[in-house]
Amino acid sequence: MIQVALVDDQVLFRRGMALLLRDMADVRVVFECSNGAELLTGLRDNPVDIVLLDVEMPVMDGMEAMKRMKELHPSVRTVMLSTHADDAHIVEAMELGANAYVLKTAEPEEIENAIRAVAESGYHFNNRVSQVMLHGLVQRQQVKPVYPEVDPLSERELEVLRAICQELTTTEIAGQLFLSPRTVEGHRNNLLLKTGARNTAGLVVYALTKGLYSP
Amino acid sequence: MSPLDLAYMERLCKGDPARMAEYIALYLQEAPGLFGALEAMAGSGDGKGLAEAAHALHPHVHYMGDAPLCALLQRVQARACTEGAGACAQDVEACLVLHLKLMQALHQWMAASTGKG
């Protein structure tokens, strides 16, 4: 069961999301709240797997909340739900460690897919986010992520990294590379250690910026 | 011609009329306040506040499938940032007119689907 917290200052939006999530048998909304401060309070007693997080909220906005949440609850994953489609918001969210960035006006199916993908593989990149990351981060070099010098990645790790960039799940990667899912997870953890990336989204940024993968 | 296109709502609610009615009832309750905020920001000349109010409304109107009102809200948001609230007076007026039409259409839908109005 995927445990979810729903954070948006507008009750109308929360209700819409709750209607959507009601049909997802494997998802349970543990709590709802209306700003980042309430989220941090709620997480003290109500652990969740994923937070569906609005960007603009009073008291504490989504970006600040995500920053603090990553320190206090590093295992909680974040799906940013926003009305901002511009590069700056997407890049900022992904840099802060968002596991997915989905527009509030996205098709319900995409929102469902994002939640399931983040729960299973740790991230969901739609075409828009991939495009922004590729063009914004790599080609125009407006943002230059800093990575520690790393041990060279093994051939197998490179294969796993490229498969991650293709949005394959752990199970799919295992099938494609004839490995067990546990071995794939091991390679993924090594990749995180070697690159210094904080999450799977960071691995994708690393692959793109180092030219190890091109969509 | 009705401004309503509830195709998105149908997908959101998996075609369940009871759930659609639940959401639309909440929209009917909340939207006047949100459009009231839009009007107030325009009246006070607060360009940033007006842009934020228009921005906040956009997804809700999108769910109701009112494309002209969505487009107008996006224009208000963009112009309020660049040209200030004063430049948006006519567009805000037009938003309020479309809002009332949408509310009317939603009341009619509710009356037809639930018998409550």
Q: What DSSP string describes A18-70?
A: HHHHHT-TTEEEEEEESSHHHHHHHHHHS--SEEEEES--SSS-HHHHHHHHH
Lowest mean per-residue pLDDT among A17-21, A144-148, B37-41: A144-148
- CA nearest A16 in B: which residue? B23
d(CA A149, CA A139): 22
Q: Which residues of A touch B30 (CB under 8 A)?
A: 10-12
DSSP state of A153: P
B105 within some domain: yes
* The pLDDT of residue B110: 92
For residue B99, give the CATH number of its domain: 1.20.120
- CA nearest A17 in B: which residue? B12
For chain B, the residues whose C-beta falls within 8 A of a C-beta of chain A are 8, 11-14, 19, 22-23, 26-27, 30-31, 34, 52, 55-56, 58-60, 62-63
B103 within some domain: yes
3-state DSSP call for residue B117?
coil
Instruction: Note the pTM of the prediction, 2 decimals.
Output: 0.72
Q: Does the domain formed by A145-209 have CATH 1.10.357.10?
A: no
For chain A, the residues whose C-beta falls within 8 A of a C-beta of chain B are 10-13, 15-16, 19-20, 22-23, 56, 83, 104-105, 107-109
Indicate the average pLDDT of chain A.
Answer: 86
* The pLDDT of residue A135: 66
Does position B117 have pLDDT exceeding 50, yes or no?
no
Which domain range does residue B95 map to?
7-114
Contact A13 B60 (CB under 8 A): yes
* 8 Å CB contact between B80 and B47: yes
B58 within some domain: yes
More confident residue, B117 or B45: B45
d(CA B40, CA A196): 49
Which CATH code of 3.40.50.2300, 1.20.1740.10, 2.20.28.270, 1.20.120.1200 fits the domain covering A2-137? Answer: 3.40.50.2300
* The pLDDT of residue A150: 60
B64 within some domain: yes
pLDDT tens digits for range A17-31: 888 888 888 999 999
Contact A16 B11 (CB under 8 A): no
d(CA A19, CA B26): 12
| Ranges of each domain in chain A | 2-137, 145-209
How many contacts (CB atoms, under 8 Å) link A and B?
A: 46
d(CA A56, CA B93): 25
Calculate what percentage of chain A has a pLDDT beyond 70. Answer: 92
pLDDT tens digits for range A58-99: 899 999 999 999 999 999 999 999 988 888 888 888 888 899
pLDDT tens digits for range A147-189: 555 668 899 999 999 999 888 888 899 999 999 888 998 898 8
